[in-house]
Amino acid sequence: MKTKLLITAILLFASIVGNTQETAIKGATLMAPEQSTKISIDDYKSFAKSRFTSDKGINKNSKNIYKVGNIVVAFWDLVEDDSYKRTLIQVQKEGLSMLTKQQVVDESVIKTINNAKILIFKYHQGDEYSYRFYSETRRNNSVSGLVHFKATDRAKAEIIFEKLISTIKLKN
């Protein structure tokens, strides 16, 4: 009886762990979205060309790009030179200045998540939405990411974005 219980518990744990994957990048660890498929930058550009009006926003060197249905999720390292360090408030002001020229900004906020300050922008243009995050810099490293989707996928994308940012753990 104990053996059956132990095997059941192991199988259950394996199925839960198998649906997510922790990804380590230079400045942080994050969990890839559940039920996602990892894609290349070229696959992303092809998909974005057929689905969105633009493929802008994802770092061209990103190796962490995922699709969850028609939702794209990506995150990448940012390495900052000492001469170019900016606070999240500075990044927020610069971002708002650029975004409000073409997009409607739905939210711009700095939150503390897992003892790290994270800047969040949520914006859209027409029926295309982007939710973007930037972490504070630690030892010249930070992490940035983006969730890109159409209005029809907004509810699902909200959940994916909130789960993603809740897993950010910056390295000290």
Q: pLDDT tens, 47-80?
A: 988 898 876 678 777 889 999 999 999 999 888 7
Q: What is the pLDDT of residue 156?
A: 97
Number of structural domains, the chain? 1
Q: What is the pLDDT of residue 21?
A: 62
**Distance between CA atoms of residues 73 and 160, nearest Å:** 9
The domain that holds 43 is classified in CATH as 3.40.1000.10
Helix (H, G, I), strand (E, B) or coil at 3: helix
- Mean pLDDT for the stretch of residues 144-162: 96
Q: Which domain holds residue 100?
A: 21-170
Q: Scanning the structure block, which residue is given the tokens 């020229």?
A: 101
Residue at 162 is within a domain = yes
* 128-140 confidence digits (pLDDT tens): 999 999 999 888 8
Give the sign of the dihedral formed by CA 93, CA 30, CA 158, CA 59. Answer: positive
Percentage of the chain lying above the pLDDT 90 cut: 47
Residue at 2 is within a domain = no
Residue at 63 is within a domain = yes
Residue at 5 is within a domain = no
Residue at 120 is within a domain = yes
Residue at 64 is within a domain = yes
126-134 long-range CB contacts below 8 Å, 24 or more apart? 126/53, 127/151, 127/152, 128/52, 128/53, 128/54, 129/154, 129/157, 130/57, 130/103, 131/157, 131/158, 131/161, 132/57, 133/164, 133/165, 133/168, 134/78, 134/88, 134/91
Give the sign of the dihedral formed by CA 86, CA 88, CA 89, CA 92. Answer: positive
Residue at 48 is within a domain = yes
Q: Which of 138, 103, 131, 155 is nearest to 28 (CA)?
A: 138
Residue at 15 is within a domain = no
